[in-house]
Structure 1
């Protein structure tokens, strides 16, 4: 006779060993020594990149129309509800608010339209320009700070990003319009929130507290009573002076002219939602772009510079942005406050002045050192 020993552990180990062998075979067939986590994430994101490259330009006009409709709706509600409310409260204050509000609105509209219709700037074709590399897609020289936009399918001078809300790239020629539009829109929404919070409180909160509804229909003529026995006046029907009686005192609200309608409440709610969302989203984006401007870089350059800092830090070297002239000078160059231009005329008021230079070459912090070296060589 033959004895058979049942060893379940050996069977489990054998089964797991075969599974591991199968996994190893699959991995060996797909092995790539250049494979890493970032490459795998890029492959997974490729469908999204494809959709953005092929369909973003089609969605752009709808985004622009959406911005125009939202802006018009907010302005209409301000004049429909806010203007009469403030005029009844203080005509003098209303005049001040109208001046400030329309100044903000003028800047918002001007800078948005200019950001949409102004080409960001492209390298000239057929001309000899100073280039740092050749664009693999355009097969054309790429000047410094120039990047290829896959949505516009062309290279953009000093490209920051492609903005679907503008249906346009943000680059050398319209970057200032884009930033000032965001700034004035954020300030405008804060302005509406600050001077409209009391209106919202009265329309939404107080009106809900004072609302009441009767459980049974009122009876009697010409005087109607509710369940508590209080006399309820009816507008344009009951006149107590003609009847020679006084209404019984009660703490219930009397329907009078100017009662808040449901449409006004919905409009106030819509305005509050839009303004708060814009302040949070666009405000954070404005602060981030302000930080980039202070550092003398664009959105694309911020990622490139961050990678360079990490790479050089490994060899104990420091990366210096060649376009960073300090916060004050960076802002002056970005806003174009050169040649006698001032903040009062060219920033606080709409101005179509062009940025300094042509976008093909930018001054760097090394230019001064070169001039000093040349002056030493040629006394």
Structure 2
């Protein structure tokens, strides 16, 4: 029994290590798909069409401009997720209120010291792996090896955890990826259909193969990302994360569900100018504690309902 437990822990460690190594490859894969797509759309098909004149040139210009705008936003959002720390527990952070269970007792110094001798204390959440208390909605990531504020999941595509400080950027990455891949799919659809026609198709075998590959890849990404986007929109609407949605399956009420508009503002802020940008206004960062990942408002009548 003990032997199998050690084997399981070792296998999990190997799996987490493999995910860390896989991350760099995934970034290169993303850039590779972007490169193939750029070659097929801009350099092979719609770039040359700019010089043909007439309606074809106008259509090509519209496609090229929209393609580049979405690509800039996609890459900006993507690298914002990659390089933004999702949020870690500050050194010497001390819980004041039991946020998870709704208790209103202040945790004094002697009670906090008792945590080190009694980590099983249920009054606050405590991470045995990090040997520290956990803020509300915080979870330990086995891949990163640390606690992450409002952790949603660890994403190998971005080589990072998705948490409180980069969740908005991740959603925008999904949003702009869906728009970009949908645009590419529609733009290359006539060329894809031409592959199966009896007429002669202009271009070299290499350019034709690249166009075919770009169409298939972007169609696959558009369909798969759409599913993730719909799922995360529903999570934002309920002010929950992927982990919390799984954990509270048997919970009829959710203390952090403040209504769709306020739930949305907990992730995107209140300044509409920044809603579609992977950034926040200084005012939102000052006025909305949830954007810092440590404090979250809950329903004012939640405690009375629980009683």
- TM-score, structure 2 length as denominator? 0.79
In structure 2, what is the equivalent of residue 225 of structure 1?
none
Q: Report how many residues are paired.
A: 267
CA contact (8 A) 1:129 1:360 kept: no
User: Quick check: 1:268 aligned with 2:211?
Assistant: yes
Mapped partners of 2:277, 2:85: distance in 1? 21
For the residues of structure 2 that align with 1:287 and 1:46, how far apart are their CA atoms? 34
User: 1:247-299 CA distances to partner (integer Å, 9 max, x unpaired)?
Assistant: xxxxxxxxxxx833211221111111211110122221111111111111000
Question: Out of 196, 212, 216, which is 1:205 matched to?
Answer: 196
Q: Which has the higher contact order (CA 8 A, sep 6+)?
A: 2
Q: Distance in 1 between matches of 2:61 and 2:279?
A: 25
Give the root-mean-square deviation of aligned CA atoms.
2.6
For the residue of structure 1 that corresponds to 2:144, the secondary structure is: coil
Contact 2:88 2:147 in 1 (8 A): yes
User: Does 1:323 find its partner at 2:253?
Assistant: no
Match of 1:304 in 2: 247
Q: 1:321 to 1:350 in 2, by over 3 A?
A: closer
Deviation at 1:190, TM superposition (A): 0.5
Equivalent-residue separation in structure 1 for 2:130 and 2:16 (angstroms)? 15
Query: Secondary structure in 2 aligned to 1:115?
Result: helix
Q: 2:87 aligns with which of 106, 113, 121?
A: 121
Shift in CA distance, 325/86, structure 1 to aligned 2, threshold 3 Å: farther
Aligned partner of 1:284 in structure 2 is 227
C-alpha deviations, 1:9-51, integer Å up to 9, x for none? xxxxxxxxxxxxxxxxxxxxx9xxxxxxxxxxx9998776343
Distance 2:277 2:56 in 1: 27
Supply the distance in 2 between the matched residues of 1:69 and 1:161 (Cα, whole angstroms): 24
Which blocks of at least 5 consecutive residues in structure 1 are unaligned? 1-29, 31-41, 212-257, 310-318, 371-379
- Which whole-Å deviations, capped at 9, do the CAs of 1:95-146 have from their partners, x for residues lacking one? 3223322221111010001000000011111233446311111110101000
Structure 2 residue runs of 5 or longer lacking an equivalent are 99-123
- Establish whether residue 172 from structure 1 lines up as the match of residue 153 from structure 2: no
Shift of residue 367, structure 1, vs aligned partner: 6.8
Q: Are the counterparts in 2 of residues 161 and 169 from structure 1 also a CA contact under 8 Å? A: yes
What TM-score, normalized to structure 1? Answer: 0.64
C-alpha deviations, 1:128-176, integer Å up to 9, x for none?
3446311111110101000001111110000001111111110000001
Are 1:52 and 2:15 an aligned pair? yes
Stretches (4+) displaced over 4 A: 42-48, 352-355, 367-370
Q: Answer with 1 or 2: which has the greater Rg.
A: 1
